[in-house]
Chains A and B, each alone.
Chain A
Amino acid sequence: MREKRWFPILYMFGVTAFFSSIIIAFATVTRGRVEANAELAFERAVLEIVPGLSGANLSNAEVHPRFADMVEEPTASSGGAYLVKKDGQVVAYALPFSGQGFWAPIGGILGIEPDQRTVTGIAFYEQNETPGLGAEITKPPFRSQFKGKVLASGGKPLGMKRPGGELDDSSVHAVTGATQTSTRLEGIINAALTEWQSKVAREGARS
């Protein structure tokens, strides 16, 4: 049988089916955990943009109760952003954004103050950019630039300038050596912000 011409094809099919089924079984068994981890990362990212709360220092067990306590699902008037409340008062909008990065999807949260213009911070719950280069977007030196920035009303709400370039109130420095990640991230954030701004403006005009 091994001399037959079709044997390699049949063999390859057999081997592939065997190994794939093990992986599928394995992935099914661990799916629950993987999803729980992703949800935890998302909730932590929302809490990280809350001013005066160091969401990054919360333990895994603290994240969910705190999230359930402070965060409300998006409403029509929030334009798709989660509402972070303290004592019944909105303290921040948590706007989720996601899109294709250089290697894999990037997902994050941009925090905006109740004035709907000032940025409170940025956090990421999903990314798979190059460690040491694109993945630097998740590190404090890059993220801390966003706090206090003001969304521009025309054109791009937030700009990314090349490292060392001159900055204004609504721009931050891109990550050195990660042009692709930076450009794509800028696009993702601005797409989400533009949509959010127009939704909020529409709601504002209606009420």
Chain B
Amino acid sequence: MKQNYHSGTSRKNKEKIIRSIFFVIALASGLTLGLIVVFLFMEGLPIFSKVSVKDFIFGIYWYPTDDPADFGIFPLIIASLSVTLVSSVISIPLGISSALFLAEIASRRVREIVKPIVELLAALPSVVIGFFGMVVVAPFLQEIFDIPVGLNLFNASLMLAFMSVPTICSISEDAIFSVPKELREASLALGATQWETIWRVIIPASISGISTAVILGMSRAIGETMVVLMVAGGAAMVPRSIFDPVRPLPASIAAEMAEAPFRGDHYYALFATGIVLFLFTMAFNMVADYISNRYRQVGAATL
């Protein structure tokens, strides 16, 4: 009896230990996030002893290898924002329309074929999309718009749109799909057509999920590196037209890191650029998180 009692407590202790082990491992993601912040700031902040935060962010000259060097990332920020904006003009309608088709119109059979296609589109490596943009889209744009360079803001936005459509589509589809059947049936029973039901009932009911999808799609576009590195053209200037070459934040980091002397000003400036990019995506994610928590959607979407 005593022994039994004994093994009972040891069993309990063992369970406790196992539970704690899993708890500690579950903290790994948070720890990684923390380490990322620490190391970005550790390697990025020293640049601000040379350049003020204001001059760094609003300076319009990015000549990191000149003597004296200019570290103004304003053109890079504008480039990042403009490719994200232009790409979302394409990707938002495309993504939401595809989601509506999949969730509301397509038959089960069609859905089972189309969903994997969207997933495969999401799985295309960014370097392949960038390559496609360089080799196929750039000459094509040059020809039809009669412009000097095919690698430009518009081309990059187009390629980025293809990368964010699957994100927008699958997250909004999830949100639309989980609108309760009763709402749909009630609207149809009142004599509304299927389209009227979608427009007046389904979309309002799932708008928070759709907004989250849009924001996450834009967040993916602003952080995407290879596409803008290969396709955007690379000129660190504030663009004047949609066909100007630009140099978004990730492209600048990826292109210059290899040549930046270790722990030199250029190196620190690139890490500081990483901080700015990190803060942008962080802000996007916080907004998405806020929307999906604050405006709980009708029905049980798992976002």
Note whether A and B form a binding pair. no
Which residues does B use to contact A, with CB under 8 Å?
none
